[in-house]
């Protein structure tokens, strides 16, 4: 069973076959799928699942805090099931590949008090950009 599925069970989320398939598709580290990719993989397991159901289910999972939405420089949003282990992202500017990474130190702590402008700061997201090995090698 996927991590995500287990967490959803634990919270008593009503698991219809459609919701289950979406949760199964979103499993593991380094998983950052677009809604269309989630739909394509879900259809392979449950042919009748509609795009609207996939989109709605993703929206609910994000609302529950069990799936993260990752913005990727103008490309389609990605959905990340690794919502409970703090991590940052490494993004390829060439092909859009994303990796979960764990930089040293806490990015929240890294912002000095003098640069908080009175804000209560609760979250920080860091995106490291560059070219992945495939894109560095060229065509
Ligand atoms: Zn790349
Ligand atoms: Zn991630």
Tens digits of per-residue pLDDT, 18-63? 999 999 999 877 889 999 999 999 999 999 999 999 999 999 999 9
Distance 98 CA to ligand 1 centre (A): 9
Full-prediction pTM beyond 0.85?
Answer: no
Q: Considering the chain, what is the average pLDDT of its residues?
A: 91
Spatial distance between the Cα atoms of 55 and 5, rounded to a whole number of angstroms: 17
Mean pLDDT to the nearest integer, 3-31 = 90
Query: How many residues in the chain?
Result: 139
Helix crossing, 35-45 with 51-64: angle to 10°?
Answer: 120
Ligand 2 (ion): which residues have CB within 5 A? 80, 82, 100
């Amino acid at each position: 069973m996927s991590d995500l599925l287990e967490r959803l069970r634990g919270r008593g989320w009503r698991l219809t076959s459609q919701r289950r398939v979406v949760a199964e598709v979103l499993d593991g580290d380094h998983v950052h799928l677009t809604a269309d990719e989630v739909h394509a993989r879900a259809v392979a397991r449950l042919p009748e699942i509609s795009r609207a159901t996939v989109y709605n289910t993703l929206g609910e999972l994000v609302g529950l805090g069990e799936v993260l939405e990752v913005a990727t420089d103008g490309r389609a949003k990605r959905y990340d099931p690794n919502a409970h282990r703090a991590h940052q992202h490494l993004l390829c500017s060439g092909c859009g590949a994303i990796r979960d990474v764990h930089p040293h130190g806490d990015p929240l702590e890294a912002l000095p008090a003098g640069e908080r402008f009175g804000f209560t700061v609760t979250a920080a997201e860091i995106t490291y950009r560059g070219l992945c090995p495939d894109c560095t090698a060229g065509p």
